């Protein structure tokens, strides 16, 4: 039997961190990529929003909230 509880906890944490990061970027704050330390940019499209760094090691896509 596989224990998923630890995995779920970690996923929840990283999702919470992503939400926090997205909030900061959308608020216009400068947020650096955890991997390459370059600033994340926000690209707003009609259907979705993308937050990524120049090297694309961080790339978060969100569907637009209506
Ligand atoms: Zn990066």
Q: Locate 32 and state its tokens.
A: 């650096």
Residue 28, pLDDT above cutoff 70: yes
Residue 6, pLDDT above cutoff 80: no
C-alpha of residue 18 to centroid of ligand 1, in Å: 14
Residue owning tokens 């997205």? 22
Q: Which residues surround ligand 1, an ion (CB under 5 A)?
A: 33, 35-36, 53, 55, 57-58
C-alpha of residue 46 to centroid of ligand 1, in Å: 24
Structural domains in the chain (count): 1
Query: Has this prediction a pTM greater than 0.75?
Result: no
Q: Which residue has the higher pLDDT, 33 or 22?
A: 33
Residue 30 CA: distances (Å) to CA of 18, 27, 39, 52, 65: 15, 9, 6, 12, 22
Q: Residue 50: give the domain boundaries.
A: 5-63
Residue 1, pLDDT above cutoff 70: no
């Amino acid at each position: 039997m596989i224990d998923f509880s630890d995995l779920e906890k970690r996923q929840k944490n990283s999702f919470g961190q992503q939400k926090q990061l997205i909030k900061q970027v959308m608020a216009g704050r400068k947020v650096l990529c955890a991997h390459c330390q370059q600033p994340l940019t926000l690209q707003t499209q009609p259907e979705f929003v993308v937050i990524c760094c120049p090297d694309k090691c961080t790339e978060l896509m969100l569907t637009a909230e209506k």
